[in-house]
Amino acid sequence: MTTAFHQGAALHYRIEGAADAPVLVLSNSLGTDLQMWAPQMDSLLTRFRVLRYDTRGHGGSSLPGSAEPFGFAELGRDVLAIMDHAGIGRAHFCGLSMGGMTGIWLAAHHPERFDRFVLANTAALIGPASGWDTRIQTVRAQGMAAIVDAVLARWFSAGWLAANAARIAPVRQMLLDATPAGYTANCAAVRDADLRPLLPRIASQVLVIAGTHDLATTPAQGREVADGVAGARYVELDGAHLSNWEQPQAFADAVCGFLAG
């Protein structure tokens, strides 16, 4: 476990795998940390040197000292700062939900640092703003426990959620462990982001993964991202928002197959 620093934020990351393997950067969803990639790690480490990190305000990564709001420009530059700290010049990138939005920004602004992008269960605009405002107010007033059940109900399809309480327990714990300040600051970043104008600028090879039952970022929103990026590929898995937990092997196969070319 290592820490990089950028714009006053301490950024916790972990790098694993063979030193001569291609690097893959993984970017977590809102409310989770680098442990969200646990279901894929065995598969990914057979092919890649994997760099997982906690988005600022999540897990072991802090918010900047100032209370100034931030957006995906700052979140994207955090990734570059971590790569610089780790001595990585170029990598593949895979992000889910908020992490996928970070990937959109990076693909549009810093293609020279990346090869291929996997944008999973994400969208270029996730609204409405009023929904984010309500969530922010609830967490500030009542803490993370007040929203966890509702979040899990959107993240997993109903049948899978009911049948997999033990498997979902680590995700529930990540949400409960999230700090209200970190969570709400990142909610605001997602709320305020409209990345649709960036999509036509992306020239990198992109795979968009969507979940058939995803209520948070629907398949239609995933297709909008894929349609907006020239030559992008689209894969739909039989799962909901955290498709890497609900369909772990299918997710790993899609990522590895795409990144292998």
Task: Give the domain CATH number at 159.
Answer: 3.40.50.1820
What average pLDDT score do residues 237-255 get? 98
Q: Long-range contacts of range 133-141, CB-CB < 8 Å, 24 or more positions apart?
A: 133/191, 135/187, 136/184, 136/187, 136/188, 136/191, 139/180, 139/183, 139/184, 139/187, 140/180, 140/184
Strands 114-120 and 49-53, sheet pairing:
unpaired
Residues 72, 105 contacting (CB under 8 angstroms): yes
* Reported pTM: 0.97
Backbone φ, ψ for residue 17 (5° rounding) = 115, 175
For 122-151, what is each residue's pLDDT tens digit? 999 999 999 999 999 999 999 999 999 999
> pLDDT value at position 1?
73
What average pLDDT score do residues 182-193 get? 98
What average pLDDT score do residues 211-222 get? 98
Binned at pLDDT 50, 70 and 90, residue 237 comes out as very high
For 188-216, what is each residue's pLDDT tens digit? 999 999 999 999 999 999 999 999 999 99
- Number of domains making up the chain: 1
Binned at pLDDT 50, 70 and 90, residue 50 comes out as very high
pLDDT at 68 over 90: no
Binned at pLDDT 50, 70 and 90, residue 167 comes out as very high
Q: Residue 195: which domain range?
A: 2-259
- Look at 66 and 137; give whichever has higher pLDDT: 137
Mean pLDDT score of the chain, rounded to an integer?
Answer: 97
For 10-41, what is each residue's pLDDT tens digit? 999 999 999 999 999 999 999 999 999 999 99
Exposed/middle/buried for residue 1 (C-beta within 10 Å: 0-12, 13-18, 19+): exposed
Residue 12, token pair as written in the block: 């916790």
What average pLDDT score do residues 80-91 get? 98
H or E segment to which residue 243 belongs: helix 243-246
> pLDDT value at position 66?
79
Binned at pLDDT 50, 70 and 90, residue 67 comes out as confident
CA atoms of 71 and 25, how far apart (whole Å): 19
pLDDT at 42 over 80: yes
